[in-house]
Structure 1
Amino acid sequence: MSHYCDTAPGHPYHGPYHDHEYGFPVCAENELFERLALEINQAGLSWLTVLKKRDAFHSAFDGFEVDRVAAYDDNERERLLNNAAIIRNRLKINAVIHNASVIQQLRHSHGGFHHWLEHHHPLPHGEWVKLFRRTFRFTGPEIVREMLMSTGYLPGAHRDDCPVQQRIIAAGPAWARSGGACE
């Protein structure tokens, strides 16, 4: 079985994501929201499809600015459903918009998405899945696993012998520390 560390390096889309983003700690609200939205959109498709459409997603969802996306109305939903540059799935689009409003609520209850994640860390994968399902829409086990691995809350993004793994550990991902990398 091949690992992402075997296939991603050198690839025009997978390579930069593998080398500079996947598994590194993410603290900024818009970036955390983007990762959640991209993982939701990946469901049933290849990650390459999502990476190829990433710039279009970023543009279509106003840079994943939570307040803007949470305020989307029916006209914005239709605009997204008619945008051939992104994945046009009504359930996924509705989930992303709904999840933006949830993130707004997390600001009041926990000080933001990042602080909510930190508050619940560490949890085993199964408990994360239960928590995400109670909190967000369209968040099954694989979406939750990949979102949390990609943002440094669960280990497994890279093999131990991958050169990127040492850079990730130096950056202080949640799974490898007791303090906060973003504090």
Structure 2
Amino acid sequence: MSAYCDIAPGHPLHGPYHDTEYGFPQREEAVLFERLLLEINQAGLSWETILRKRAGFRAAYDGFDVDTVAAYGEVERARLMHDAGIIRNRLKIDAAIHNAQVIQRLRDSHGGFAEWLDAHALENAAPRDKASWVRLFKKTFRFTGGEITGEFLMSLGYLPGAHRPDCPVAIVLRERAAR
């Protein structure tokens, strides 16, 4: 089986994502929300499908603005269910709205989504493992099973494995982390 580092470079969609986003730490709330929303929508589909629809998701979900999405009601749900530019799945749409509301509450409890992730990154003075993250995400968010949570966290550098150790992107990420 090929690793993402073997198939992504040079691909018109996977290449730029692999080279500039996958495994790169992020702090901005809209970027974190986008990544979570895209990972949720990828369930049962290929990542290429999601990357092809990324601009559609951005437009449909108001630039991934958490406050705007958190306020969505039935009119917006109906609009999203009819938007061919995204994945039209009621459970995934409801999860996006619910999770935006959760992220709003994380501002009060932790200062924001990134701070919540940071606060939970260690467990008993060691990096939190995937199983523990999955339990935490299932307790906190909707539509966040093992694969979705794992890919979300790996894509942000909270879990290892986004890149092969010898991948040029992995080398850049290690150099950045060492600074």
- Decide: shared fold, TM above 0.5: yes
State the partner residue of 1:143.
148
Residue 57 (str. 1) matches residue 57 (str. 2): yes
Partner of 2:165 in structure 1? 160
1:123 to 112, 118, 128: 128
**Runs of 4+ more than 2 Å apart:** none
CA contact (8 A) 1:103 1:113 kept: yes
Letter in 2 for 1:106: L
Unaligned runs of 5+ in 1: none
Partner of 1:9: 9
Partner of 2:24: 24
Shift in Å, 1:169:
1.8
Give the root-mean-square deviation of aligned CA atoms.
1.1
The separation in 1 between residues aligned to 2:176 and 2:74, in whole angstroms, is 41
The amino acid that maps onto 2:142 is R
| Secondary structure, counterpart of 1:18 in structure 2 | helix
Query: Could you tell me which residue of structure 2 aligns to residue 133 of structure 1?
Result: 138
- Normalising by structure 2, report the TM-score: 0.95
Q: Is residue 2:99 matched to residue 1:94?
A: no
Query: Matched residues in 1 for 2:36 and 2:176: separation?
Result: 21
CA contact (8 A) 1:24 1:171 kept: no
Query: Does the CA-based 8 Å contact 1:133-1:139 persist in structure 2?
Result: yes
How far apart are residue 170 of structure 1 and its match?
2.8
Report the residue type matching 1:157 in the other structure. Answer: A
Task: Quote the sequence identity (%).
Answer: 64
Q: 2:84 matched to which residue of 1?
A: 84
How many residue pairs were aligned? Answer: 174
Distance in 1, Cα, partners of 2:176 & 2:103: 25
- CA displacement at 1:171 relative to structure 2: 3.2
5+ residue gaps in structure 2? 122-126
CA shift for structure 1 position 102: 0.1
Q: CA deviation at 1:166?
A: 1.3
Q: How far apart in 2 are the matches of 1:74 and 1:167?
A: 45
CA deviation digits over 1:76-117, x for unaligned, max 9?
000000001110000000001100000000000000000000
